[in-house]
Amino acid sequence: MSNRLETAQKLAGKLFGTVHGPLVPKIICDHGEGIYLFDQNGKKYIDFSGGPMAVSIGHGDKRVRDAMVEQMDKVSFFFRGFWLNEPLLALAERVIKISPPNLTMCQFCNSGSEATETAIKIAHQYHVERGKPEKYMVIGRWQGYHGMTLGALSASGFTLRQSKFGQLLHHWPKIGAPLCYRCPHELIYPTCNIRCAQALDEIINQIGAQYVSAFIAEPIGGAATACMVPVLEYYPMIRKICDKHDVLFIDDEVIAGFGRTGKWFGIEHWGVNPDIITSAKGMTGCYTPMAVVIIHDKIGKVFSEKGAAFIHGFTMEGNPVSAKACLTVLDIMEKDGLVERCAQIGEYFFKKGREKLSHHSTVGDIRGKGLLMGIEMVKNKESKEPFDPALKVSYRLQQLAMEKGCMIYPTAGVINGIRGDHFLVAPPFIITESEIDTAFDMLDEAFTDFEKEVL
């Protein structure tokens, strides 16, 4: 073992927590370039999941580096509460330009979880300013994920990430996910009459609309549902139900936002206007922490009519170096047409993925949109019976894929929070057709090795 690896492995015990799943990292990430990451021995890995579905324009883009250095040479930090922040103002203008109609204001923060917390607080204060302070509850979905902080985790429906923190969380109500492959109501589309959307109306009636502040959902599922894509009627129905009950619709675009699904925002596939959008990950290309909450003007109007300040803020919020990085990422996405590219190459990505993987008996479902794909693993394809959760099969597949040089994002709990295994692939937007072929070839081989072990 090299000295460098030995030292790193010894020091690893000094980092508390944050291990993703049962596998402890055993290699050093040395550097990144385009769609690739390289380990300490120079071995190349395709970053086929973009980390946690986050890398957008690829690794090591010198244009982002140069823009960040230019800003650092001027000033790296000043407090947003005391100074006008030019890069951030330019970023707000750009974000609003690409946002759905009537979303006209931005609040910046540093992570997707902070964005969820911020959105929950904006929604509640909006009701408070309108004389409805009892509207506080946020309804989410089983399965859904909105972040690790306590408010965000309370709004999530992701048992494996929540179970150790029961007493700390608000046990806000949830509706089932609009996942046709495993319909929570055991119905079949279209005769189901989109019962999964009607469930929101039912639960609000049961709780009492006077207590419900907002409904939060990822437009296309992420880690919790392996990229579930609701049917076309779903979000228009959700929008109507929210309006009927004076409940705000928070659209969590932390993964789907900024191009990955082939539109700037995932919700555009349904032509629906949310009240609040949260986003992070792809907007900064992962060069630096940055997240945004985009707010409907009806909310802005209430705050300004009441002369109310939003009681909130973070020290590092809207850091000018991060804002400059985001502006450059957006420049690159626009100049290189990367959103259109996600839509176009996304077609090839799904065609190839299905061609290479569907024949495996442990591949139950392949779903998603653009460059966001979820693959559900099953023990029995016909009955959709899952594996024993103790086997942690998606993590085993990750290991096998990594040995071949392909990174995927494993997770579990799609069925009832505990059972059901799946993984996500969400490569950088610059991936080419031949690189897609290579990555799926590696995954195909990883599945063959995996099936030899488990079947």
Ligand X SMILES: Cc1ncc(COP(=O)(O)O)c(C=O)c1O
Q: State the residues that interact with ligand X by CB under 6 A.
A: 52, 111-113, 116, 145-147, 218, 222-223, 252, 254-255, 280
Closer residue to ligand X in complex, CB, 146/360 = 146
Cα-based distances in Å from 450 to 22, 47, 381, 409: 17, 20, 15, 16
Residues 6+ apart with CB under 8 A from 180: 188, 189, 231
> Which CA distances in Å does 16 have to 152, 311, 355?
22, 32, 41
Min. distance of Cβ 111 from ligand X in angstroms?
Answer: 4
> Please, what is the minimum distance in Å from the beta carbon of residue 187 to ligand X?
26
Question: Comparing C-alpha atoms, which of 264, 274, 332 is closest to residue 95?
Answer: 264
Residue 421 Cα to chain centre, angstroms: 18
Which is nearer to ligand X, 362 or 413 (by Cβ)? 413
Q: Which is nearer to ligand X, 146 or 296 (CB)?
A: 146
Closest contact distance (angstroms) between CB of 154 and ligand X is 13
How many angstroms separate the Cα of 248 from the Cα of each of 17, 102, 124, 254, 273?
A: 35, 14, 9, 18, 11
Closest CB to ligand X among residues 264, 450:
264
Nearest approach, Cβ of 145 to ligand X (angstroms)?
Answer: 5
Q: Smallest distance from the beta carbon of 86 to ligand X, in angstroms?
A: 25
Residue 286 or 400 with smaller CB distance to ligand X? 286
Q: How far is the CB of 223 from ligand X (least distance, A)?
A: 6
Nearer to ligand X, 128 or 413 (CB): 413
Minimum CB distance to ligand X, residue 255 (Å) = 5
Smallest distance from the beta carbon of 146 to ligand X, in angstroms? 5
Q: Which is nearer to ligand X, 85 or 279 (CB)?
A: 279
How many other CB atoms are found less than 10 A from the CB of residue 353?
21
Least Cβ distance, residue 147 to ligand X (angstroms) = 4
- What is the Cα–Cα distance from 284 to 328, expressed in whole angstroms? 9
**Nearest residue (beta carbon) to ligand X:** 112
Nearer Cβ to ligand X (38/314): 314
Would you say 396 and 421 are in contact if contact means Cβ atoms under 8 Å apart?
no
The count of C-alpha atoms lying within 13 angstroms of the C-alpha of 62, restricted to the half-sphere facing its C-beta, is 0
Choose between 149 and 438: whose C-beta lies nearer to ligand X.
Answer: 149
Would you put residue 373 in left (φ > 0), alpha (ψ -120 to 50) or beta?
Answer: beta
